[in-house]
Structure 1
């Protein structure tokens, strides 16, 4: 008897509720191209099919056992309450017993069952995801990436050759499946040419990222369909276990998958929020040099999957058309991402308590930008968490003049990397000293970026009220208290007449976002 026929007989027997050592109301059998999944009510049993598809090999019993053990190991990092154990099916294929006596027929991963309607892709189909949910993804991913193993500098994972292989395969397979569809083929050629050039340009970055430890044993398949919202908590599941090359990746490739999925669903606001929250937590702004490349790659992966599905003979004409339209939509997104907009650099100007941070957080959701907050980056330079108290005096510790200069120089460095990588940048700081503003005016000129100075004018009484309330709450990265505000009021250097040409009043978020959008669409690309 072949392994296929043995497993088919086993699956048939496992459709009997009496085969399980726990109560079963009804069994649902879900078959994918690589697995059999048996849902029993409280528990799920997932068996690997005896296949060898090249990129995965479950062809022998030992290989399926190893793959089940890997699936358990990898997924327990993020979902230990869901991934419970690897179990055996023993005895006769027609009358198997779970973890019973006799020869092992096959292996399965045993999981706690949860409602499939709670996955984030399905929830988003009903209503857009919330900011709370997106923030939870960013926090969970940042914490996960900080804990997982790092590839060695001489590892094949994350190297330029390893990275290019799946990129090239996407183009080959989409070309085979797209047929004579002219728009798809046009996008395919545009994206292919861009990817070749971008891959060549980023060769030093790929190697540097691996040397610096950013290639790690990630999840590998982080789209919304592999996340769920359970009782107000995020659940991430279904890591890639079958191919190490697909999970030993740059952390930014993983971030790009989720970012791309949100962009594909027309949630540019949530995509911007997610990306900013992740970067704020990790400080990995240097990784944004590769972000566009990885986002295009992830869109092409999904385009490939959609076109392959469209070619399946068992689909109805309507289903085939739906899959082809999805594939085309992913190609359009990838194509748009290859054409970055003229970069915009915005700096804030306002005393502590003027509302800069709240306004900025709302603005980056209406006009996508990467926000750099001086309060957080200052503490990062000092080795402190964002909410940690530095114990510094008003002009001492991390607020002494030389450390402030170092902080602003660092903000320039980060902003320059982002602007040169095609991202709009918002720098959230007081900018009450002329030399601070001049640093960024010069940066905008170097990067050929449109420059704006977002001015916050707030009455002193309201500033004092806000600063006192924030200090009392103690839940913000800013350590500014009344003594800091009083010093700012005495030492601030007002905007000059020369700077007036760059000023945008912080009236409403919508009006500022519209101004920035107009600048992007201005052929002259100027705010003068």
Structure 2
């Protein structure tokens, strides 16, 4: 892909227009009108509305030089973003008059078009909240659930389209790497290209299976932290890709990978894996895990290219390209993610209320692990939502012996997907039967990965207190009640001596040093 080009006169004309529009809006209101420039647009903020004007630029991945094209993509931007943020996207407004004396509305031939949006409060972007220390895991969990629903409702790519095919995925990656060639040392790109090409070849069958299964959807396509926003209690995304259908008709895992990658780039792996954990629980997209790392690397490379294009535009024509444009080191992250590979398996063991889910959540944030919850996956097997109350008598309904066996078999299959993708993997279940634990230990051994049991214990009185409180709250996937706990207390199979050698025992009745716990897990199996 060649370096970005555009008509210098068109670029200057657009800048004059943006400044004239700023003055026009300023005359109509009191707050100072802010002008924000990106690599492909100008955005004017007048205190109530945001007015977005596309630049007449031609880059390797878009061409906005023609006015009719800009109008068409304004209309697309409105349509597409109303899917996730209808409260923000209002209309496409024609601009009349001249470059230096524009009018919003009027007669004659429009000279430009603007997407009119409702302006949100300063500091509402997730990128801003993260920088201010105000982005919490609960907000990301709500966004993960919203995106899972959004993807389920979005149309799937037809088999006769190129979208989401192995060839298209590899071509998109090649295009980004070619674009980076104008900025990055050849040796760096050559090594990345070689590793990504090899990974893509291995993933081709999975890419095609995912498309055939309907997991290539018309998604967002540009889901980084600055394109997600808090609107009161609502968390949503906006500013999706409108200029290239192939960049938004993608595997849903690729869509989600963008936000997770951006959290990693901003040194928040805890939030990245908490977001992934919530999305996987809501979506059940675990079979896409082997492709997730490829998508994380690709998304990091996209942001690395965008950062360099923006820096080049800011320096002006003829400036020498810079390899380090400032901000997060997306290129370095891509290199690190491509090399990371630490498959290891941890299963929890403990009675209901022993703190398995709480501790496994804290552990996955610290380590960067994929978690599978039996309470969630059991209900998914039977077509139920995670918070659906499926409680029944002991050994009845979805908790009958055959249903429990199917649940553990499903957990094992999903854990193998995660391990094969190279991730530390946590299976959060009671594992009160030795045969269940043995099946997972044997599977780990067959793959040559370390196996650990996290044995959680607490006093029976505390277990009863926790189970009663959880049932009363109704906000957890577990259906365990006091009757089930009493049955577990009377009839579980404790760890054998040979199992204790692979176990980490934790008393959850007091404070737990999760950092030390993570270090013990990661140390197991190392030479």
Give the TM-score normalised by the residue count of structure 1. Answer: 0.90
Counterpart-to-counterpart distance in 1, 2:498 and 2:16: 82
CA distance in 1, matches of 2:12, 2:331: 40
Residues 440-459 of structure 1 mapped to structure 2, 5 A cutoff = 440-459=440-459
CA distance in 1, matches of 2:271, 2:202: 29
Alignment coverage as a number of residue pairs: 513
- Does residue 201 (structure 1) correspond to residue 202 (structure 2)? The answer is yes
Matches within 5 A, 1:135-214: 135-179=141-185, 185-214=186-215
> Which among 21, 43, 64 is matched to residue 14 of structure 1?
21
How much has 1:217 moved relative to structure 2?
1.1
CA distances 1:109-151 after superposition (whole Å, capped 9, x unpaired): 1111234543222332232632223223322222221222211
Q: CA deviation at 1:348?
A: 0.9
**1:37-48 alignment to 2 at 5 Å?**
37-48=43-54
- Could you say which residue in structure 1 is the equivalent of 2:93? 87
For 1:362, the equivalent position in structure 2 comes to 362
Question: For residues 361 and 29 of structure 1, do their structure 2 counterparts lie closer, same or farther at Cα, with a shift above 3 Å needed?
Answer: closer
Given that residues 143 and 236 in structure 2 are in contact (C-alpha distance below 8 angstroms), is that contact kept between their aligned partners in structure 1? Answer: no
1:438 is matched with 438
2:484 paired residue number: 484
5+ residue gaps, structure 1 = 180-184
What is residue 6 of structure 2 aligned with on the other side?
none
Equivalent position to 2:35, from 9, 22, 29: 29
Using a 3 Å threshold, how does the CA distance of structure 1 residues 18 and 465 change in structure 2: closer, same or farther? closer
- Give how far 1:187 is off: 3.7
- 1:163-213 deviation line (CA, Å, top 9, x unaligned): 11221122223233125xxxxx54433321110110000011111111111
Q: Secondary structure at the match of 1:89?
A: strand
SS at match of 1:228: strand
- What is the CA distance between 1:447 and its match in structure 2? 1.7
Q: Are the aligned partners of 1:13 and 1:96 in contact in 2 as well (CA < 8 Å)? A: yes
Q: C-alpha distance in 1, partners of 2:59/2:341? A: 41
5 Å matches for 1:57-76?
Answer: 57-76=63-82
Shift in alpha-carbon separation, 1:354–1:53, aligned structure 2, 3 A: closer
Higher mean alpha-carbon deviation, 445-454 vs 332-341, is at 332-341
Segment of structure 1 superposing worse, 475-484 or 168-177? 168-177
SS at match of 2:229: strand
Supply the distance in 2 between the matched residues of 1:299 and 1:18 (Cα, whole angstroms).
37
C-alpha contact 1:17 1:27 (8 A) present in aligned 2: no
Measured against aligned partners, the alpha-carbon deviations of 1:221-254 in whole angstroms (never above 9, x if no partner) come to 1111112334343242211111111111111111
C-alpha displacement of 1:36: 2.9
Assess if the C-alpha contact under 8 Å between 1:50 and 1:59 holds in 2. Answer: yes
Aligned to 2:473: 473
Whether the 8 Å CA contact 1:19–1:96 is kept in 2: the answer is no
- Whether contact under 8 Å (1:367, 1:516) holds in the other structure is no
Q: TM-score, normalised by structure 2?
A: 0.90
1:108 is aligned to 2:114: yes
Alpha-carbon distance between aligned partners in 1 of 2:279 and 2:256, rounded to the nearest angstrom: 8
Does the residue aligned with 1:234 lie in a helix, a strand or coil?
strand
Change beyond 3 A, Cα 1:463–1:502: same
Cα pair distance change 1:9/1:274, threshold 3 Å? closer
The answer (yes or no) to whether the contact 1:120–1:224 under 8 Å persists in 2 is yes
Q: Is the CA contact 2:26–2:33 (under 8 Å) kept in the aligned structure 1?
A: no
Looking at structure 2, the residues matched to 488 and 213 of structure 1 have their Cα atoms a distance apart, in angstroms, of: 41
Work out whether residues 347 and 453 of structure 2, in 8 Å CA contact, stay in contact via their aligned partners in 1: yes
CA gap of 1:262–1:101, structure 2 versus 1, over 3 A, is same
Which residue number corresponds to residue 182 of structure 1?
Answer: none
Q: Which moved more, 1:214-223 or 1:30-39?
A: 30-39
SS of the equivalent of 2:43 reads strand
Alignment-derived partner of residue 516 in structure 2: 511
Identify if the C-alpha distance between structure 1 residues 303 and 103 changes in structure 2 by more than 3 Å, giving closer, same or farther. closer
- Contact in 2 for aligned 1:303/1:326 (Cα 8 Å): no
CA RMSD after TM alignment = 2.7
